[in-house]
Amino acid sequence: MKVKICGLKTLEAARAAERAGADFLGFILWPESRRFVSASQAANMIRALSGTARVVGVVVDQPVGTVAALARRCRFDVIQLHGHEPPEYAERLRDSADVRIIKAFRWRDDFSVEAANEYPADYILLDTFKKGMAGGTGEAFLWREAAEDVRKLNKPLLLAGGISEGNAKEAARTLAPFALDVSGSLEENGEKSPAKIRSFMRAINEMRNEGST
């Protein structure tokens, strides 16, 4: 099982995540997020990393041309669409930027397995539904209730929403995701804690060694 650490705002935290073995590093380029970073900030951090992890730009209902330009400027490997972007949006983005695509869905917000499977994305991310929020709720949804839907997905699943060191093993056993997407549980006073990042990744590596993931 892989790990995506999202909402990185500082080079110190991004380096800690990369060195600890995170597989994906997420940078949020949506101005309404409290974890927002500008394109310049993201580009500068990415240039200073070693390149062992894939870098992900998270956007919400932003114009395709804007996102394609962000992808090229920041050298993102992956773009995460976390809004209500229709399938044709993803197709246009693929045509204009050489990136993989994560499409986020919120479970129980009229979630449709068929729509997720048909969406032209490389990965599907399932997050917690909370009215008025695009994501970042810090709350887990009902994994056992979602398990039947998850088994029907034909794309790799990234599981988000309230993931922490304390429930990572349960998440892995219940839904067997391709990757865990973790953010809020690794923060102190609203900022990513390198110590918490290292602790989380140690727990994941122990799970891997035990054969739990």
Task: Give 160: exposed, middle or buried? Use CB within 10 Å, 0-12, 13-18, 19+.
Answer: buried
In residues, how long is the chain?
Answer: 213
Q: Which CATH class is domain 2-210?
A: alpha beta
What separation, in Å, do the N-terminal and C-terminal C-alpha atoms of the chain show?
5
Residues 6+ apart with CB under 8 A from 75: 43, 46, 47, 55
- Residue-level pLDDT at 108: 76
- Residue-level pLDDT at 208: 85
Q: How far is CA 132 from the centre of its chain?
A: 19
What does the block give as tokens for 16?
């800690």
- Residue-level pLDDT at 189: 92
- Residue-level pLDDT at 135: 47
Please report, in tens digits, the pLDDT of each residue of the chain (213 residues total): 999 999 999 999 999 999 999 999 999 999 999 999 999 999 999 999 999 999 999 999 999 999 999 999 999 999 999 999 999 999 999 999 999 999 999 887 678 999 999 999 999 999 985 554 444 455 677 898 899 999 999 999 999 989 999 999 999 999 999 999 999 999 999 899 999 999 999 999 999 888 755
What's the CA gap between 80 and 54, in Å, rounded? 12
Q: Which residues pair with 104 in a beta bridge?
A: 125
- Residue-level pLDDT at 211: 73
- Residue-level pLDDT at 130: 52
Query: Domain map of the chain by residue range?
Result: 2-210
- Residue-level pLDDT at 128: 83
What's the CA gap between 205 and 189, in Å, rounded? 26
- Residue-level pLDDT at 138: 54
C-alpha closest to that of 107 among 143, 136, 152:
143
